[in-house]
């Protein structure tokens, strides 16, 4: 295995500030949270959707509805990833029809995860509008997908890796950039 140079690009406080800003932007753009719901994309988007909902509740005095979306079978590369994909529950306990849905994920890279999430979401109804919130936008898109709300934007190469670590997953809150050594 080759050695990697690891650089921290966000710590716990920076993540918290970014999520606070994003929550305010979501509320402002949507003029409140009436008819708004958050849907976290498994896996990294789920705890971030919960954190955004907490922060929105602090601002608005009420919590937006939250759903969880598993996109495993909607991915265009699932057969390359595993012969036996692990499928987890999708939990959207509300109608998405005519609502503004904010899809939440940890990292936006090629756009393929978001494309799969859009396909999966449409099986649950017809939202009035879909917005995208990501903690890290690392560029290098393969599809024409852009975030409406982002915590940080960084430029990366195809060989670099961005990893988001969250306390909900038993780790220290941080975002690391792993750069392979040449």
* Strand spans (E) along 51-160: 65-69, 100-108, 129-137, 149-153
Give the pLDDT of residue 72: 86
Mean pLDDT by 10 residues, the chain (182 residues): 81 98 98 97 96 98 97 68 68 98 97 95 97 96 96 94 96 95 75
Q: Are the C-beta atoms of 134 and 105 separated by less than 8 Å?
A: yes
- The domains of the chain are located at 13-79+86-156
In this structure, which topology does domain 13-79+86-156 adopt according to CATH?
Rossmann fold (3.40.50)
Q: Which helix (H) or strand (E) holds 173?
A: none
Give the pLDDT of residue 4: 79
DSSP 90: -
SS (H, E, C) 50-86: HHHHHHHHHHHCCCCEEEEECCHHHCCCHHHHCCCCC
Give the pLDDT of residue 1: 42
How far is residue 136's CA from residue 112's CA, in Å, rounded to a whole number? 15
Q: Name residue 152's beta-bridge partners.
A: 136
Q: Name residue 162's beta-bridge partners.
A: 177
Q: Are the C-beta atoms of 87 and 70 separated by less than 8 Å?
A: yes
Structural tokens at position 18: 């970014």
Q: What is the dihedral of CA 49, 52, 54, 56, to 10 degrees?
A: -130
């Amino acid at each position: 295995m080759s050695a990697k140079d690891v650089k921290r690009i966000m710590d716990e406080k920076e993540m918290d500030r970014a999520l606070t800003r994003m929550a305010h932007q979501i509320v402002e753009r949507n003029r409140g949270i009436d008819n708004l719901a958050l849907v976290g994309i498994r896996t990294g988007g789920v705890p971030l959707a919960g954190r955004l909902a907490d922060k929105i509740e602090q601002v608005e005095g009420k919590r937006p509805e939250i759903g969880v979306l598993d996109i495993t079978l909607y991915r265009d590369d699932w057969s390359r990833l595993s012969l036996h994909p692990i499928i987890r529950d999708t939990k959207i306990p509300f109608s998405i029809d005519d609502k503004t849905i904010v899809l939440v994920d940890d990292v936006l890279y090629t756009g393929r995860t978001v494309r799969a999430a859009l396909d999966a979401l449409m099986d649950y109804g017809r939202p009035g509008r879909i917005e995208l919130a990501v903690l890290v936008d690392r560029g290098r898109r393969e599809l024409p997908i852009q975030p409406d709300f982002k915590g940080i934007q960084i430029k990366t190469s195809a060989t670099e890796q961005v990893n988001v670590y969250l306390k909900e997953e038993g780790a220290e809150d941080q975002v690391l950039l792993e750069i392979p050594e040449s």
